[in-house]
């Protein structure tokens, strides 16, 4: 198995895990995961789409982030709000995530294992996460799995049963 195949498996599994948790949250998309707030499912989906498009464009392809307009809504450090009207629709956000993931796979498909060792233009303070092309793709997968945990908590806050276990 090639390294790119392992990365594809990780990308597919993290997406599958997250989308399983998100599948029935459309009507509860702004449910906060804790009584003190947190990242609700709509914010998580928008953040994942924005971040994936950003990591890919910034560190791998060198293109423009097609979701840059969402930075003020879904960027790291933004504070989710419970008013769904402040955000693009659930379907728009889910579609953006799907397009970002398609672009990720398209970029990965053209790479050899040796290409994964290529350096990126990551700033020095980010090189431990984004220093090589392979690290970027790995971080995309980890990032999705990380935020899925927040959705699991929002599901419980919405009164839904766990999807796993």
Condensed to tens digits (0 to 9), the pLDDT of residues 57-84 reads 999 999 899 999 999 999 999 999 999 9
Share of the chain above pLDDT 90, in %: 96
Ordered domains of the chain (ranges, CATH): 3-157 (1.20.120.450)
pLDDT at res. 16: 96
- pTM for this one? 0.95
Q: How many angstroms separate the CA atoms of 43 and 47, rounded?
A: 6
Q: In Å, what is the CA distance from 1 to each residue of 4, 5, 7, 8, 113? A: 8, 6, 11, 11, 11
Tokens encoding 46: 């928008």
Nearest to 58 by CA among 104, 95, 117: 104
Q: How many angstroms separate the CA atoms of 49 and 96, rounded?
A: 6
């Amino acid at each position: 198995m090639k390294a790119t195949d392992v990365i594809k498996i990780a990308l597919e599994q993290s997406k599958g895990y997250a989308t399983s948790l998100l599948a029935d949250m459309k009507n509860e998309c702004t449910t906060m995961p804790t009584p003190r707030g947190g990242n609700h499912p709509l914010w998580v989906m928008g953040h994942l789409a924005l971040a994936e498009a950003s990591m890919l464009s910034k560190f791998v392809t060198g293109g423009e982030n097609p979701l840059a307009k969402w930075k003020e809504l879904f960027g790291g450090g933004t504070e989710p709000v419970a008013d769904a009207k402040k955000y693009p629709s659930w379907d728009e956000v889910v579609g953006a995530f799907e397009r970002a993931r398609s672009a990720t796979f398209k970029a990965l498909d053209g790479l050899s294992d040796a290409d994964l060792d290529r350096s990126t233009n990551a700033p020095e303070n980010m090189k431990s996460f984004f220093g090589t092309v392979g690290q970027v793709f790995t971080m995309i997968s980890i990032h999705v799995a990380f935020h899925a945990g927040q959705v699991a908590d929002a599901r419980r806050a919405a009164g839904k049963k766990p999807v796993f276990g």
